[in-house]
Amino acid sequence: MLKKISRVWVIAFVICFLTLLLPEKGFADYPIFSQRYTADPTAVVYNGRLYVYCSHDSDVTPGQSNYNIPDITCISTDDLKNWTDHGEVFNAKRDSQWAGVSWAPSIVYRNNKFYLYYGNGGNGIGVAVSDSPTGPFKDPLPKALITGNTPGVQPAPNMWLFDPGVFVDDDGQAYMYFGGNGENNIRVIKLGSDMISTVGSAMSMSAPRFFEASYMHKYKGKYYFTYASDFSQGASKIEYMMSDSPTSGFTYKGVVLPQPPDNYNNNNHHTIVEFKGNWYCVYHNRTVAKQRGEDAVYQRNVAIDQMFYNSDGTIKQVVPTVDGLTQLKYVNPYIENAAVTMHKESGIETEECSEGGRNVSFIQNGDWIQIKGVDFGSGGATSFEARVASDTEGGNIEVRLGSPTGKLIGTCKVEGTGGWQKWTTKSCSISGATGVHDVFFRFTGGSGYLFNFSWWKFNSDAVPTPTTSPIPSPTPVVGRSAFSRLEAEEFNDIKSSTIQTVGTAGGGSGIGYIENGDYMVYKSIDFGTGATKFKALVSTTGTPNIELRLNSPTGTLIGTLPVASTGGFNAYEEQSCNITKVTGKHDLYLIFSGAVNIDWFTFDEDGGTGSIGDVNGDGEIDSTDVTVLKRFLLRKTSLTGNNLSNADTNGDGEVNSTDLTLLKRYILRKISSFPI
């Protein structure tokens, strides 16, 4: 075990204290990795695994006013839930002859080698090469690959020479996109077949509000240039352009990823990658630092979400999730599994292991790690093995299911081995582990550091029968019947900087964190011979409106649902309104005036004219209709179609305070019918 600086003891105390207060508190699914601060991801797929390389944000020092990124960290997964920590794979000061830092990498696999491109701050771009995805990477050049003197770079006022995005086209030609700090400060240059040289001069590109993070990918013959926008619109977003060429003819298309939660309207950086038949957007925010109460400016963490394309090739805006992605396959517990492969953790760190790879280290009482979706099969596990080392008296590994304090199925005692890298295998019996579970290894013992942990394995007396692994979410289908139940999260486009998918009361998912002015688009909705009523399952603490418009955000208004408070965002109710009859196929826009969660919606053909007094179109005349009509008269909401007609309780062709008075009298049973 390496010796920590004194600051670590403060952090350890804080973590331990928080653990005592919140024994089951861990980091959300949303950050995929929390052992170190990471940002600016790039990714490559190799041998069935997704490898993500990140800038490593080092610990913040007093008075720090810039990023401190000395090295590049690599993590990988084969199931999108459990990530293996490969540690530091490149350090510019150690592994190059010219650079001092390594910012915002880009990774390419070609010629049976891995090429890792990086920025020396904003002062040039270098390249490092390895035979393995986990390194070691070494810079083969005694100098930068891209400088201000590279042909075609100038003139470039205030250009940052960093953020390389390397793309290899179908014909084998490789391109590097780079630059920053200005709409016209984008350059693209061809790379030689050796991937460590350039060909010709750099070509200029421009993009609306371009700030940094150039990236190129290709999908069904189209080229997609994605980038981080500047702050002229209040927050940096990942936006994109499309073209039939990798270097010219681009047309701006919109936003790929809005400002994610817990990013404090700060910078972002992304990569887009296809893995096992689905597309994903990897990016960063500042969730981990926020949860730890640390500096959230210069300490970031990486997140990942699935990305979808519309039928016309445009990108459906990515919605940052809370619960993360679907696990692609379950973990086999009956083989040796690296302890540094985990879903969540609390308190631990990792370091290089003398037996190869890395090990979990700096373990203290109450720390834990979680492995997501472990499949024990029908036979079940009967024993557990762990590879451990300790220079103290050791401690215990509690094997639990479901949570750090969940069902205890075994305890493995770890004794001192005479050194932090002197390894031995400990075992214990296990009882009650069948089927699929989240496994928690909870570490207990005395004060100080307990032991290091390298790998684990379960054993079974029976032949395990594996459970079928889950299937990732399919790409949403474009072209749907208005009369089917339409899930809110299956939109085709979106305008929002806050919207997220959320869990719903029925165990499903919906859309939440909606703000005033947000909207969602559902393309090619078939209304058939006519729809006259809209219904939705919603929850809110306020009284927002949902406008229904056709074909554009300012298109034909067919109705407005005045959402009544349900008493909480977890209290879902079905609410409805009549709409102006609409036929045929249209793009449907749901436009929100305030905070509301929406699970699903649908349309009916039987709305008819409704009943006089039924202002909200729910089939009943009650106090809710009074509230809706009052808000309409105060100009806080709008009424259209049958809802407006039903509000005219005296039948004089106008909706005014007289109609409100009559509606109140009807509810109080002072009159028995409308109109008068």
Q: What is the pLDDT of residues 512-533, one digit of tens each?
A: 888 899 999 998 898 988 899 9
Q: pTM for the full model? A: 0.75
Higher pLDDT residue, 68 or 617? 68
Q: How confident is the model at residue 21 (pLDDT cuts 50, 70, 90)?
A: very low
Q: Tokens for 642?
A: 């049958």
Closest CA relative to residue 444, chosen from 343, 367, 385: 367
Query: Would you state the pLDDT for residue 604?
Result: 85
Q: What is the pLDDT of residues 203-214, one digit of tens each?
A: 999 999 999 999
Residue 75: in which H helix or E strand, if any?
A: strand 71-77
Q: Please tell me what DSSP assigns to residue 643.
A: H
Q: What is the average pLDDT across 552-574?
A: 92
Which position has the token pair 């939440």?
Answer: 512
Query: Would you state the pLDDT for residue 70?
Result: 86
Residues 237, 228: contact at Cβ < 8 Å? yes
Query: Would you state the pLDDT for residue 507?
Result: 60
Q: How many residues does the chain have?
A: 676
Query: Would you state the pLDDT for residue 417?
Result: 98
Q: What is the average pLDDT across 287-309?
A: 89
Count how many Cα atoms sit within 13 Å of the Cα of residue 450 in the half-sphere of its side chain.
26
Q: Tokens for 391?
A: 């220079």
In order, the DSSP letters of 425-453 are EEEEEEEEE-SEEEEEEEEE-SSS---EE
Report the chain's mean pLDDT, rounded to a whole number. Answer: 88
First-last CA distance in the chain: 87
SS (HEC) of 102-117: CEEEEEEEECCEEEEE
Alpha carbon distances (Å) from 314 to 103, 218, 225, 254, 475: 30, 12, 12, 9, 13
Burial of 387 (0-12, 13-18, 19+ CB in 10 A): buried
Residue 614, classed as helix, strand or coil, is coil
Query: Would you state the pLDDT for residue 13?
Result: 38
Query: Would you state the pLDDT for residue 27?
Result: 46
Higher pLDDT residue, 303 or 18? 303
Q: How confident is the model at residue 234 (pLDDT cuts 50, 70, 90)?
A: confident
Residues 590, 569: contact at Cβ < 8 Å? no
E-only strand ranges, 376-478: 381-390, 395-401, 407-414, 419-433, 436-444, 452-459
Q: Answer yes or no: 391 catalytic.
A: no
Question: How many other CB atoms are found less than 10 A from the CB of residue 519?
Answer: 19
Query: Would you state the pLDDT for residue 1?
Result: 45
Q: What is the pLDDT of residues 461-500, one digit of tens each?
A: 876 666 666 655 544 445 688 888 888 988 888 888 778 7
Q: What is the pLDDT of residues 258-281, one digit of tens each?
A: 988 888 889 999 999 999 889 999
* 238 pLDDT higher than 90: yes
Q: How confident is the model at residue 121 (pLDDT cuts 50, 70, 90)?
A: very high
Query: Would you state the pLDDT for residue 463?
Result: 64
Burial of 333 (0-12, 13-18, 19+ CB in 10 A): buried
Q: Tokens for 151?
A: 């042909």
Q: Tokens for 299?
A: 């300490």
Residues 94, 79: contact at Cβ < 8 Å? no
* 130 pLDDT higher than 70: yes
* 336 pLDDT higher than 60: yes
Query: Would you state the pLDDT for residue 466?
Result: 66
Q: Tokens for 334?
A: 């009956």
* 382 pLDDT higher than 90: yes
* 22 pLDDT higher than 60: no
Burial of 400 (0-12, 13-18, 19+ CB in 10 A): buried
* 349 pLDDT higher than 70: yes
Query: Would you state the pLDDT for residue 469?
Result: 62
Catalytic residue among 71, 95, 212, 230: 212
Query: Would you state the pLDDT for residue 65?
Result: 76
Q: Which of 62-76, 304-318, 368-382 is the least confident region?
A: 62-76
SS (HEC) of 181-250: CCCCCEEEEEECCCCCCEEEEEEEECCCCEEEEEEEEEECCEEEEEEEECCCCCCCCEEEEEECCCCCCC
Q: Which of 365-374, 389-398, 579-588, 647-656 is the least confident region?
A: 647-656
Question: How many other CB atoms are found less than 10 A from the CB of residue 312?
Answer: 10
Q: How confident is the model at residue 60 (pLDDT cuts 50, 70, 90)?
A: confident
Beta 519-526 vs 480-481: how paired, if at all? Answer: parallel
Query: Would you state the pLDDT for residue 439?
Result: 98
Q: Answer yes or no: 351 catalytic.
A: no
- How far apart (Å, rounded) are the C-alpha atoms in residues 364 and 4? 14
Query: Would you state the pLDDT for residue 471?
Result: 55
Q: What is the pLDDT of residues 221-232, one digit of tens each?
A: 999 999 999 999
Query: Would you state the pLDDT for residue 623?
Result: 82
Query: Would you state the pLDDT for residue 9?
Result: 37
Q: What is the average pLDDT across 314-323?
A: 86
Most confident segment among 282-286, 453-457, 493-497, 601-605 = 453-457
Query: Would you state the pLDDT for residue 608?
Result: 42
- How far apart (Å, rounded) are the C-alpha atoms in residues 430 and 418? 27
